[in-house]
Amino acid sequence: MNEMPAKLQARAERKNAKRDVKKRQIAESAILALKELGYAHTSLRDIADKSDMSLGMLHYYFDDRTDLIIYCVTIYKEDFVSDITAALEKANGRAEVIDAFSEALVTSIFDHEMTHRLWYDIRTQAMFDATFRPVVSEIEQKLIGIVRAAFEKAGHTEVTNVELSYALLDGVFRFLMQGQIGPKPKERAELLATFRALLDQFL
Amino acid sequence: MNEMPAKLQARAERKNAKRDVKKRQIAESAILALKELGYAHTSLRDIADKSDMSLGMLHYYFDDRTDLIIYCVTIYKEDFVSDITAALEKANGRAEVIDAFSEALVTSIFDHEMTHRLWYDIRTQAMFDATFRPVVSEIEQKLIGIVRAAFEKAGHTEVTNVELSYALLDGVFRFLMQGQIGPKPKERAELLATFRALLDQFL
Amino acid sequence: MNEMPAKLQARAERKNAKRDVKKRQIAESAILALKELGYAHTSLRDIADKSDMSLGMLHYYFDDRTDLIIYCVTIYKEDFVSDITAALEKANGRAEVIDAFSEALVTSIFDHEMTHRLWYDIRTQAMFDATFRPVVSEIEQKLIGIVRAAFEKAGHTEVTNVELSYALLDGVFRFLMQGQIGPKPKERAELLATFRALLDQFL
Amino acid sequence: MNEMPAKLQARAERKNAKRDVKKRQIAESAILALKELGYAHTSLRDIADKSDMSLGMLHYYFDDRTDLIIYCVTIYKEDFVSDITAALEKANGRAEVIDAFSEALVTSIFDHEMTHRLWYDIRTQAMFDATFRPVVSEIEQKLIGIVRAAFEKAGHTEVTNVELSYALLDGVFRFLMQGQIGPKPKERAELLATFRALLDQFL
DNA sequence: AATGAATGAGCCTTCATTCAT
DNA sequence: GATGAATGAAGGCTCATTCAT
């Protein structure tokens, strides 16, 4: 008697799962376009063209341009956070944490420069468009969480001012990353040294 | 024989000066609109409406939407830099510099929140649109210059890593400023204490 | 030799009957949406969502959006006509007919306001889209038939100008019904008195 | 000292007047398309194409598709009301009023069939879309005013139930007009006789 | 028999830019 | 010098319809 509902529910779940897979697939294509052109200059048509999707499909899976972009940024968060977290996990003791953290940050600058560009773009948009604020805020909390984790792993028992440490670290990260876009990008080693010195002072 | 050219040149200069006055006048009106709506959501019509200018005039004085915006950001720079510079000028000795600098930064957060928002917006656009890079870079140099000046006034004879100090300070500034936009803005005193502690550590 | 065809035919008819049941079921759901939003603003997705039907099913049973809507209006006709006819059936003599007719019309305004709104919508569309004309015309003939029946029941042996009487009654009906949508709907009693007076003059 | 403001005001008025002329011009083109295709099937592109206007111009003069359509209907009102009013003006005494009124109505059916079609369309839309209600209501008041004027001209000192008379007349008008769209349009004389008989009974 | 994913044409609207005056 | 009317390309979004499953 209750078998059918169970079956139906199972089917609905399978469908939802499938839908989520597709959404992520679309979002990943969208990110490619957004990373390149930026929030302001990426139209849904651009996204549809760059991937092999029809314009209609974008709206079939997402309510809105905004909805799609928020989804994209959410994915970014997951990737970046899990990257850094994984890197920190293996580290034991202050020295190793500084090493691993610096290493991970620099690697991310080199490998995901464009993704970070997008993140800074959306974060700035949030200053003007309240719609973006919840996601941005949520992500920023995760990033602060990473810094806190680093502190704890480094042996600090009582961590204060994590937010400030994040802000400061983010300022440097952004500055260095932006420098890599310009005409005179720096060597990997130099960036690494900078982060090391900074973390050595703060952590 | 060379009298006429001189006269003509004088007239041309007068003309140019007059034109510059007008351009600045327009730009100041434009800034009002840009601060409110942000780069992505401010149309030339918005600007024309907010001021008492015709749409045509905007293009009469500026080649381009971009041209206008760059001009606006340039003006911003002058104002902000001269504000901070003026504040630092009166300070003597490390303690006074820390006081004056913190004070000036916090004041600017409260009085010019919207202007900074615009600055961060344009700076982010520059990551995607190379047209903005020269201005942004130029302004950032000036800002670094301020930090250097602060170091020198504070008694440092040999200043290294000013850029990094700027980046770090900018990160904190941006973080605090962004927090003021949200639902729980902080007290003036708290922001002041934060900057003081930070400068005390670095300067 | 002709047994099989008979069997086949029977099966085909059963199939058709089943199909008709389903079509009616779909149409009734569709009417709910159409009544609320109107012809111009009701998409097939609206209909599918409001009921528990898939979008594909709509096209499986109906050729076309238009096809579906025509079917809906046809159902409306049957309901309204049978309502009024039933009401008139019991009435004997002119006075009772006037009573019953007025009563039925006012009741319909109150109970089926939205349905009438839809009818007027489709009837208007027919002025522009010839596809709708046959149904609209057919329904209007039925409505005229009702008026004729009323005349006859009221004792008129030779009824002339039924069409005109219908038109005139319809004008009043529409006017009153539309008034009920506005900010100052009238009391039941008032509408009733209006119809009574009108029918008293004409019937 | 107050000459300049006067001048400026004069110029502003001239400009406004010019703008109004242009708006009317556009609206008249739009009406041509609307009359033919109906509200639901006339896109702004249709309108722009049918006339020699750019799509942008439509939005330069009107806020909205709705804004434009409301303007069109307003113009219709003015024309129709002034037509009928002019016709009634010359009439003296009941008989002449009946003559003139019937004549004017029939003429309007023949000459402005499409315009009335549009009016009925918009009036029906108003049942679903509240935006249209104010205009529709305003126009309907004017039409009721015409009926009242006819009553008065016909010698009635105390006119009651004008609204009802309007509703009833409108019902007949709509029915006859719609009949003209179909395959068997009637002769002018027949329509005339119908209105005459109707007015003879009511007026 | 039924589903719903996918399509693409079309809609309304915005906007930087041009140009006649 | 200055205006604002006019343009047309592009953007976000809706929707009837098709089709593989």
Residues in chain D with CB shorter than 8 Å from the CB of C137 are: 182
pLDDT tens-digit series, residues D127-137: 988 899 999 99
Distance CA B53, CA C83 (A): 66
Nearest to A194 among B164, B169, B175 (CB): B164
- Do the chains contact at D168 and C172, CB–CB below 8 Å? yes
Residue A50 in contact with residue A67, Cβ under 8 Å? no
Does residue B53 approach strand F to less than 7 Å at its CB?
A: yes
Round to whole Å and give the CA distance between D82 and D198: 22
The pLDDT value given to residue C3: 52
- d(CA A69, CA C162) in angstroms, rounded, equals 63
Whether A1 has a pLDDT exceeding 50, the answer reads no
Mean predicted confidence (pLDDT) in A54-69:
93
Identify all chain D residues contacting C185, using CB atoms and an 8 Å cutoff. Answer: none
Residue from A16, A60, A5, A13 nearest C55 by CA: A60
pLDDT digits (tens, 9 = 90+) for A152-188: 999 998 888 899 999 999 999 999 999 998 889 999 9
Whether the CB-CB separation of D31 and D115 falls below 8 Å is answered with: yes
pTM of the model: 0.85
Q: What is the pLDDT along chain B (203 residues), one digit of tens a residue?
A: 455 567 777 777 777 788 888 899 889 888 888 888 888 888 998 888 887 888 889 999 999 899 999 999 888 888 889 999 999 999 988 999 999 999 999 999 999 888 899 899 999 999 999 999 999 999 999 999 999 999 999 988 888 889 999 999 999 999 999 999 888 999 999 999 999 999 999 88
- Beta carbons of C133 and D182 less than 8 Å apart: yes
Distance from C-alpha of D103 to C-alpha of B147, rounded to nearest angstrom: 89
By three-state DSSP, how is residue A183 classified? coil
Distance CA D131, CA C47 (A): 24
Nearest CA in chain A to B170: A171
What is the spatial distance between Cα B57 and Cα B61, in angstroms, rounded to a whole number? 6
Residue D187 vs residues B42, B98, B190, C164, D190: alpha-carbon distances, Å: 61, 97, 89, 16, 5
Residues C33 and C42: beta-carbon distance below 8 Å: yes
Helix (H) or strand (E) holding C92, with range, is: none
pLDDT > 70: percent of chain A: 94
Interface residue A166 vs chain B (CB under 8 A): yes
Q: What is the mean pLDDT of residues D151-166?
A: 90
Q: Convert chain D into a string of H (helix), E (strand) and C (coil).
A: CCHHHHHHHHHHHHHHHHHHHHHHHHHHHHHHHHHHHCHHHCCHHHHHHHCCCCHHHHHHHCCCHHHHHHHHHHHHHHHHHHHHHHHHHCCCHHHHHHHHHHHHHHHHHHHHHHHHHHHHHHHHHHHHCHHHHHHHHHHHHHHHHHHHHHHHHCCCCCCCCHHHHHHHHHHHHHHHHHHHHCCCCCCHHHHHHHHHHHHHHHC
Average of pLDDT values for D59-73?
A: 92
- Shortest Cα–Cα distance, B116 to chain A (Å): 10
Can you tell me the mean pLDDT for D169-185? 94
Best residue of B43, B178, B186 to probe chain A, by most A CBs closer than 10 Å: B178
- Does pLDDT of A2 surpass 50? no
Low-confidence ranges of chain C (pLDDT < 50): 1
Q: Which of C61-70, D7-16, D60-69, D190-199 has the lowest mean pLDDT?
A: D7-16
Amino acid identity for residue A132 in this structure: F
Query: Gap from A44 CA to E15 C1', in Å?
Result: 18
Residues A103-113 have pLDDT tens digits of: 999 999 999 98
Q: Are B42 and B27 in contact (CB under 8 A)?
A: no
Q: How confident is the model at residue A197 (pLDDT cuts 50, 70, 90)?
A: very high
* Identity at D181, one-letter amino acid code: I
